[in-house]
Amino acid sequence: MGKSISIVIKPVSAIEAVSTPCLVIPVFGEEKSTSLSSKCAKQLNSVCNGAVLALLKRGDITNSVDSMLLLPTVDQIKADRVLLVGCGTGKNLSEADFKKIVDKLVKQLKATKVKEATLLIDELSVKGRDKAWMIEQLSIKAGLIAYNYTETLSKPKPDTVLKKLTLGMNSSKALLTAAKQGQSIASGMNVARELGNLPGNICTPTYLANQAKALSRKHASLSTSIVEEKKMRELGMGSLLSVTAGTDQPAKLIVMNYQGTSKTVKPHALVGKGITFDSGGISLKPGAGMDEMKYDMCGAASVFGAINAIAELKLSINVVAVIAAAENMPSSNATKPGDVVTSMSGQTIEVLNTDAEGRLVLCDAISYAERFKPQSIIDIATLTGACVVALGKHASALYSNEDDFAETLLSASQEVGDKAWHMPLWDEYQAQLNTNFADMANIGGAGGGSVTAACFLSRFAKNMRWAHLDVAGTAWDSGANKGATGRPVALLTKYLINQSS
């Protein structure tokens, strides 16, 4: 589930002597130029008696970042095949162009079905980024192609053959660290993708609890405990329990503790929304597209992925993960619109819409996480369709009760390329949650739906350094490429890497 691809960094001698199933050579130069600026492309051209330059002049390969050409055999060298990759100018590439190049080349390597490949990309540079950043991005992209969903397929596609990438450059501690971090981020994203893609009849709250226990058995630094519904009642978690009232599947509050440093160091907390299927409850969703509500636990899945990543990296940090796992179904026992419930914090909530259930489980999970006295707390949830309307699929919505905390998370998101956007959390929006019959309503009307959802959660995090990530637009893709994306595992992991000692 948490697969990754091995990354090796070592210098390469003469091109003709490199023995590899596939040798990746960048081709770059001035725009629309038919001359070679890449040293390794020049070397290959020399060895092959001008063949590369001839291909360039003929237009079979160009300097464009959209260009790529696979040479199945090249007699003059030891490599079995050569992949020529257009890399623009090669120097001071934009982050977007570099990612496009990497994405295309790893997909081509997958399609070529080679077990190993050697990449000569040392000449490339990205504006404002160092080689470590480039290697981390490459490691992430390569690791993501290792994932292949098979669980419910009678005839699954074969696993990716590619197992190892060798980067032809001088090694250093910084580069090795970057490769390892990229591998672990990809591994964590693949964990999240697998959990998200599983159907709701398999990935139940109990299944998630068992996966947390299995993860703890895998890593000595992890311990897991499960709060059952009986204990939830004793703790006064009436808000969380109101969501699970209509289903036969018992809710689980999953608590994973990662200890990477002294117990005296306060942990960072991650809180994940784990609605394993969301029918909307009595406020039933439209039937079209309801199958995608298996992805309503992708916030929880991203927490699993981040915990897996930091455990692999053995970070010197303490982290507590709290996952509110429940199923939202309609029945004679289900919570009704207009019902009033009491949260663990003692605040009462009028449930005006049972399809606004994510905030109802999260508020009690946030209150529970407070007992660990965390340095910071981040909740992650596929919370609102309004977030998708506002930001589409490219950026997660970021809210925080401390602007400097939001900036820290934004910096991590930009560093790793898992984009987020800082949204407003102004007092003016809080009034939309007013009701005559409880301390607050669980919805705030048609306007600013993602904002009022964050405002709701902020009322339960007043004493904490808190942030909220609404990932309804980024956690999965629809259409022909339907599937969980693994976001925002990279953002969360990079934040925790930056916080570790």
Lowest-confidence region among 115-124, 135-144, 153-162, 271-280: 153-162
DSSP state of 307: H
Domain CATH number, residue 451: 3.40.630.10
Alpha helix (H) residue ranges in 13-168: 39-47, 51-58, 95-112, 131-144
Confidence tier at 233 by pLDDT (50, 70, 90): very high
Separation CA 102–CA 99 (nearest Å): 5
Residue 191 CB-half CA count within 13 A? 29
pTM: 0.96
Mind listing the pLDDT tens digit for each residue in 417-443? 999 999 999 999 999 999 999 999 999
pLDDT at 31: 72
Separation CA 402–CA 117 (nearest Å): 46
Mind listing the pLDDT tens digit for each residue in 169-185? 999 999 999 999 999 99
pLDDT at 160: 76
Mind listing the pLDDT tens digit for each residue in 459-468? 999 999 999 9
The mean pLDDT value for 12-16 works out to 90
Q: Which residues are catalytic?
A: 285, 359
Domains: count for the chain: 2
Separation CA 264–CA 50 (nearest Å): 65
Whether residues 264 and 150 share a domain: the answer is no
Whether residues 327 and 231 share a domain: the answer is yes
How high is the mean pLDDT of the chain? 96
Chain centroid, CA 81 distance in Å: 33
Separation CA 19–CA 27 (nearest Å): 20
Which residue in 371, 319, 321 sits closest to 344, CA to CA? 371
261 contact partners, CB below 8 Å, separation of at least 6: 316, 317, 318, 501
Res. 501: pLDDT tops 80: no
Whether residues 158 and 221 share a domain: the answer is no
Mind listing the pLDDT tens digit for each residue in 338-357? 999 999 999 999 999 999 99
Domain CATH number, residue 151: 3.40.220.10
Whether residues 268 and 379 share a domain: the answer is yes
Encoded tokens for 420: 């987020």
Torsion region of 436: left, alpha or beta (phi above 0 gives left; psi -120 to 50 gives alpha): alpha
pLDDT at 208: 98
Res. 29: pLDDT tops 80: yes
Measured torsion, CA atoms of residues 68, 73, 78, 80, in degrees rounded to the nearest 10: 80
Whether residues 112 and 226 share a domain: the answer is no
Measured torsion, CA atoms of residues 254, 260, 265, 269, in degrees rounded to the nearest 10: -30
Mind listing the pLDDT tens digit for each residue in 390-400? 999 999 999 99
Res. 2: pLDDT tops 70: no
pLDDT at 13: 83
pLDDT at 161: 85
Mind listing the pLDDT tens digit for each residue in 49-68? 999 999 999 999 999 998 99
Whether residues 367 and 415 share a domain: the answer is yes
282, 466 Cβ separation under 8 angstroms: no
Among 170, 199, 221, identify where a domain stops. Answer: 170
Strand pairing partners for 125? none
State which residues form the domain around 301.
186-499
Whether residues 375 and 471 share a domain: the answer is yes
Alpha helix (H) residue ranges in 146-237: 173-197, 205-218, 229-235
Mind listing the pLDDT tens digit for each residue in 438-460? 999 999 998 999 999 999 999 99
pLDDT at 35: 78
What type of residue is 19?
Answer: S
